[in-house]
Amino acid sequence: MKKIKHLDLLKGDSTSNFYGELKSWIDEVALLYMTYLDDLGYLPFHDHEQCAVSLLVAAASRAGHLALAECAVDREESAGRADLWIVSENTHYWFEFKRSAFRPNTPKWGLKHSLKIALHEVGQLYFDDGEVGVAGIIAVTDKMPAGRRKEYEDFCENVDFAFHLGPYGWRGAYLYFKILDGN
């Protein structure tokens, strides 16, 4: 398997269905992230959640998946939207993302708080056979002192998959994924 520059799998089972079906997507995410960074000096995950998810949709399309952002879904209490829907060969993945910035361990919008909110939101979706819910965290490091970046790696124990994109240091980003139990 070809190694993509500026993409590191920090945690996850590379033999799992999730990884096997979506590895090409993650590769394209890293390639697009670096294209924006190298060609434009732009950090695409460092603005807001919708901007970041738009890159994730583009990467899924480049990888050959059908994908939509902000698509209608059925929820426990009402209709709503999922941040991202990716259709792979065998599975429909429904994602709820939260963007975590600044201090990773802060009580409000730190990594654990963001994961809790994303898990709650994806947990309200109805799933049919062949559908999987995933809570995703997009974490940026541009405002983090270098001495505190280890906290991003330590957070891996809370998720099923973790990736580092881009160069290590202030221009990098982390993607964390927790697959909803029961799917």
Which parts of the chain are beta strand (E)?
7-11, 66-74, 79-87, 92-100, 131-140, 161-165, 173-179
Strand, helix or coil for residue 110: coil
Return d(Cα 183, Cα 172) in angstroms, integer: 31
Predicted confidence at residue 183, as pLDDT, reads 43
Q: What is the pLDDT along the chain (183 residues), one digit of tens a residue?
A: 456 778 999 999 999 999 999 999 999 999 999 999 999 999 888 888 888 999 999 999 999 999 999 988 876 677 778 899 999 988 999 999 998 866 777 778 789 999 999 999 998 887 888 899 999 999 987 767 767 778 888 999 999 999 999 887 778 899 999 999 644
The tokens for 29 are 């995410």
Give the residue among 102, 121, 85, 120 at the shortest CA–CA distance from 46: 102
Closest CA to 47 of 129, 115, 143, 128: 143
Strand partners, 164: 8, 174
* Structure tokens that stand for 101 in this block: 């910035």
| DSSP secondary structure letter of residue 39 | I
pLDDT value of residue 87: 94
Residue-level pLDDT at 58: 97
pLDDT of 109 reads 79
Give CA–CA dist 32/166, Å, rounded.
Answer: 10
pLDDT at site 123: 87
